[in-house]
Amino acid sequence: MRILPAPPGTGIVFRRTDLDGFEIEAISRNVARVSYATSLMKKGVLISTTEHLLSAFIGVGIDNAIIELDNLELPILDGSAQPFVEMMQKAGIRRQRRPRKYLKIRREMELREGDKFIAVYPADTYAVSYAINFPHPLIGKERFEVTLSNGSYLRNIAAARTFGSREDEQAMRNMGLIRGASRENCIVLTRDGIENGPLRFEDEFVRHKVLDLVGDLALLGKQILGNVVADRAGHAMHTALVSRILRDKSLWEEVTVSAEEFDRPAVTASLAAVGSSL
């Protein structure tokens, strides 16, 4: 995988170098099947496990980039967004002097499915509140709230790794995913603990759910200004929220903000150089 700089207006675009450079835009319209991971598909061409890299782009503040990939699955690496963040920081970030367009939520939207819940409410910043209730002695009920500004994504979210049991792993392998996965690229749960400790955060599990949510919401194609609340949701509900938001234009408006009122750069950005291969 390589990440290339791209001009303003490009957005985030995947390019399959093994398929004559076929391009798939990272937008809601191209969302394919969603289960353990989020996948994009266009004209039968698949890109799998997009959420951690897209999350890193939002966290670092990159709006425009081309991701070259010689395979259908993104590298899972350590199961977090941290290696992608470091790759982008090493390449450098170039501001593009074009105002960033935000998708500002004007009206609330709530989705429920059994005991799962996800919603978005009007706000002037991007905030996420996530709750999980996972039947495992180390997890149980966890809840994490964060406003994604002033480096809080980089400090609190980027390093949180994905988790699963050996049974999940086998199921994913059967679907042709996580080739090469091992204890190096996720927290492996055992019946009463974890195989490969220590945890990076005491509540690493719920922080990773925030990471996934941010990555899936990136499929809006714009940074969001809103308060997102999720309870036991997953990729399917995250991406359902995205398509519901985009479908109902009375829920939001496109705005630009000045750097002064926002205390961070409000222009688009790309990489200053090619991100080193992984």
Residue among 14 and 102 whose Cβ is closer to Zn ion: 14
Residue among 69 and 210 whose Cβ is closer to Zn ion: 210
Contact between 212 and Zn ion (CB under 5 A)?
Answer: yes
CB under 5 A: which stretch of 90-98, 113-121, 155-163, 183-191 binds Zn ion? 155-163
CB under 5 A: which stretch of 41-49, 124-132, 143-151, 156-164 binds Zn ion? 156-164
As measured in angstroms, the least distance from the Cβ of 112 to Zn ion is 23
Residue among 68 and 212 whose Cβ is closer to Zn ion: 212
- Which positions ≥6 away from 59 have C-beta within 8 Å? 81, 85, 148, 153, 154, 157, 158, 214
CA distance 207 to 111: 21
Whether residue 140 contacts residue 270, with contact meaning beta carbons closer than 8 Å, is answered with no
Contact between 204 and Zn ion (CB under 5 A)?
Answer: no
As measured in angstroms, the least distance from the Cβ of 108 to Zn ion is 26
Using a 10 angstrom Cβ sphere, with 0-12 exposed, 13-18 middle and 19 or more buried, the burial of residue 98 is middle
Contact between 48 and Zn ion (CB under 5 A)?
Answer: no
Contact between 223 and Zn ion (CB under 5 A)?
Answer: no
Contact between 82 and Zn ion (CB under 5 A)?
Answer: no
Number of residues that bind Zn ion (CB under 5 A): 2
The label of the residue with tokens 């204890």 reads: 183
Residue among 3 and 77 whose Cβ is closer to Zn ion: 77
Task: Give me the half-sphere count of Cα atoms (radius 13 Å) on the Cβ side of residue 13.
Answer: 17
CA distance 153 to 242: 20
Catalytic positions are 235
Inter-CA distances, 244 with 29, 38, 140, 191, Å:
11, 17, 30, 37
Q: Which DSSP string corresponds to 159-172?
A: TPPPEEEHHHHHHH
Residue among 169 and 212 whose Cβ is closer to Zn ion: 212
Q: Which of 64, 80, 96, 162 binds Zn ion (CB under 5 A)?
A: 162
CB under 5 A: which stretch of 101-109, 113-121, 159-167, 187-195 binds Zn ion? 159-167
- Give the residues lining the site for Zn ion (CB under 5 A): 162, 212
